[in-house]
Amino acid sequence: MDFSTKLSLPYLLPNQAQKHVTLNDSLRRLDAIVQLSVISATQATPPDDPAEGDRYVAGANSDGDWIGADGQVAAFQDGAWAFFTPQTGWLAWVEAQSELLVFDGEAWLGAGGSGETASPSTLGINASADTTNRLTVSSAATLLNHEGASHQLKINKASAADSASVLFQSNWSGRAEIGLTGSDDFLVKVSSDGQSFAPALLARPSNGFVGIGTWSPTAPLHVEGAIRIAVEMAEELPDAVGVGAGTLLFLEHADHSIELVYSDGAAWRSVQSGSTL
């Protein structure tokens, strides 16, 4: 065997003349690929005035002196370009992007967590991400913690007609959705089948009107359908001062008759007669 297995470094042979030529060739190869740092990994055209020792990963559809060398390490040595075919596991620091790349046997890929400007297109944590769910996490819980003070989770949409929401699913079928769905109204809606959704609560940003069971509230509180107010026995009425003026309750008397009462802030009064209880 005249060359090393991995880096194809030429061996010195017995009785070989000019052994220094073979040794220097090995040293040049090592100088080019050990502690590999390249200027760029996307440039397809050789630079006009390279400096001795400059290294690149030749980009796609390379031309000129690099033609046919796509993905190879191109090193400018002794006034000419030398090319080295990467092997699986080679690492290269790309100076232009401050990014670490790794060769997977077919292509150069970003090594996770390298470089301040590294920006992976997808990220799966214990799961497989895709072009729709670019960030996918499979775990028992997900924690987003503060860094000494406040913490905000921001969901931004492009326009009012788009959606910025959180969808809650059961076996991949939607059951509840919270957020701005198709408008700038804040909406909580629910579904039993993942297809048809009913409004549970809607808050309109233009006037602050809140609707329960309606898509179009027309008053500060608009309830579509019947409402149920708590029924309390006379001896169980809460403190009128504590609940505050305007609180409504149904009062059940000892004879089981029902009366609507309200708190005036100091005492409970009958809605019908206005008398205190």
Could you read off the pLDDT of 135-151 as tens digits, one per residue? 999 999 999 999 999 99
Single-letter residue type at 84: F
What is d(CA 69, CA 101) in angstroms, rounded to the nearest whole number? 18
Burial code (b: 16+ CB inside 10 Å, e: under 16) for 22-40 equals: beeebeebeebbeebebbb
Per-residue confidence (pLDDT) for residue 118, from 0 to 100: 53
Predicted TM-score of the model (pTM): 0.56
Closest CA to 125 of 109, 141, 111, 145: 141
CB 212 within 8 A of CB 201: yes
Q: Which residues have C-beta within 8 Å of that of residue 184, sequence separation ≥ 6?
A: 160, 205
Single-letter residue type at 240: A
Q: What is the pLDDT of residues 78-87, one digit of tens each?
A: 899 999 999 9
Task: Check the CA dihedral 91-95-99-103 and report its sign.
Answer: negative
The continuous run of DSSP H or E covering 80 comes out as strand 80-84
DSSP 40-59: -SS--S--SSPPTT-EEE--
Per-residue confidence (pLDDT) for residue 121, from 0 to 100: 81
Token pair recorded at residue 100: 């670490």
Per-residue confidence (pLDDT) for residue 20, from 0 to 100: 63
Alpha carbon separation from 143 to 84, 147, 200 (Å, rounded):
45, 12, 28
CA 236 to mean position of chain CA atoms:
51
Per-residue confidence (pLDDT) for residue 116, from 0 to 100: 47
Q: Which residues have C-beta within 8 Å of that of residue 165, sequence separation ≥ 6?
A: 155, 177, 178, 179, 180, 181
Per-position pLDDT tens, the chain of length 277:
576 665 566 766 777 667 766 666 776 777 667 889 999 999 999 999 999 999 999 999 999 999 999 999 999 988 999 999 999 999 999 999 888 999 999 999 988 655 444 567 888 999 999 999 999 999 999 999 999 999 999 999 999 999 999 999 999 999 999 999 999 999 999 999 999 999 999 999 999 999 999 999 999 999 999 999 989 998 899 999 999 999 999 999 989 899 999 999 999 999 999 999 8
Number of H helices, E strands in the chain: 2, 19
Per-residue confidence (pLDDT) for residue 112, from 0 to 100: 65
Task: Say which residue the tokens 């991949």 belong to.
Answer: 172
| Residues comprising the chain, all counted | 277
Task: Give 245's DSSP letter.
Answer: T
